[in-house]
A and B are shown apart, each in its own frame.
Chain A
Amino acid sequence: MLQTNLEHIESEEQLKELIENNEKVAVCCGRMGPMCIPVYDIFEVLQEKYSDIQFQDMDFDIPDAAIIKGLPECRKFWGLPYTIYYRNGKVVKATSSIQSAKEVKSIIDDVFA
């Protein structure tokens, strides 16, 4: 159970609906660990700055997280969290492990410009 102030994605259907109905979506899939918490926190801050982007999270250990783990872009990932950026329903960027606010903002400016 993630203890963040982000909206939690709890099922495959919820994720599909989210990316179908929103042009720009960023999902951080992880646990409450030291590499994941900073990314959730950065998402919380950035969702105030980027109102056109949906920032949400997903518990890495729920069965429906298989939809993230099974992405081809995540096949070689061996570090939490998995952070996925969707645009118009398609994955446009995926990162593994901790990212700084600067790195996340750089990705956002690149893929969601």
Chain B
Amino acid sequence: MQKFDVIIIGAGPAGLAAAIYTARAALSTLVIDESSAGGQVKTTGQVANYPGFVEPIVGHELAGNMRKQAEKYNTNFKLAADITALYLSDQEKWVEIDDEDKYTTEFVIIATGSSPRLLNIPGEKDYKGSGVSYCATCDAEFYKDKDIFVIGGGNSAMEESLLLLQFVKSITVIHQFDKLQAEKITADKVTANPKVNILWSHEPRAFYKEENKMVVEAENLKTNKRVRLERDGIFIFVGLVPNSTFLKNVPIQLTEYGYIITGPQMETNIRGVYATGDIRDKRHKQITIAVGDGTIAALEVIKHKLNELS
């Protein structure tokens, strides 16, 4: 079993910021991620509000720079790695990845972030990429002059709808509430477009494909009646979920929504375990905040290591 001074789970901005600090402080640092480095930033087109860049920087470039900076100070990476076992207690901490390699440490920083929410209804996975999409930028042109559904009424749903409107013939928004949750300025632009109509207070229950059409079976949440509607495609934008399912056997305090509860120094209820970035229960989720969280957690770890030595 290999030992590191600190193990960071998650290689987004929070995890990479923490790694830059701990590795620069000469602590042996391992970063584990089930995917590649960069988190959600790498899939963000342009980042215009990250200090230090006068012109917007492409998300994957910013993420790549953060990783290179962490590597420069000898951070170790295990990417595309599945956590197959995890033990976190006040006294002992270890992580097993891919059923083979086991690593132990005194300090763990959890920075696994959040991911786009899936509806998890029949047909969703079956038709991903062939009728069901999660990205207007990527797939809008496949639906040129087509009729589509947009599922969701929040900011991302409305912003993506504005992009889709440049391509499609019509959009039917299916939304679970009777008003849109998006910022008014964006929502108004969408609703003012004659190509848009909205099915209020409905939730999709299943997707089917009939010949070349996608069928949505949606339930009216007020009457419980179901309707069947068909269009050419379905775009889903229903928010984010915390990537915390890997913690299900760990005695860490989570909110009812699965976010980790921390104190002001990013500490969790388990001694030596910190949580940073979008996995942490907090109001605002921004790259700058994630980087700040990662920095605080790293400085706490460094402080404890120095205390051990003195």
Contact = CB atoms under 8 A, between A and B. Distances in A.
Nearest to B143: A78
Interface residues of B, number: 29
Contact of A38 (B42, B130, B139, B233): B42
A92 interface: no
A76 B137 CA distance: 19
Contacts, number: 90
Contact of B36 (A31, A35, A96, A101): A101
Contacts of A45: 36, 79-80
Contacts of A38: 35-36, 42-43
A6 interface: no
Interface of A: 3, 30-38, 41-42, 44-46, 49, 76-80, 95-98, 100-102, 104-105
Interface of B: 34-38, 42-45, 58, 60-61, 79-80, 82, 128-135, 137-139, 142-143, 233
B177 to A, nearest CB: 26
A38 B58 CA distance: 14
Nearest to A80: B138
A105 B82 CA distance: 10
Contacts of B44: 34
A80 B128 CA distance: 10
Given A79-B129, A96-B128, A42 B134 contact: no
Given A32-B60, A37-B43, A78-B131, A102 B137 contact: no
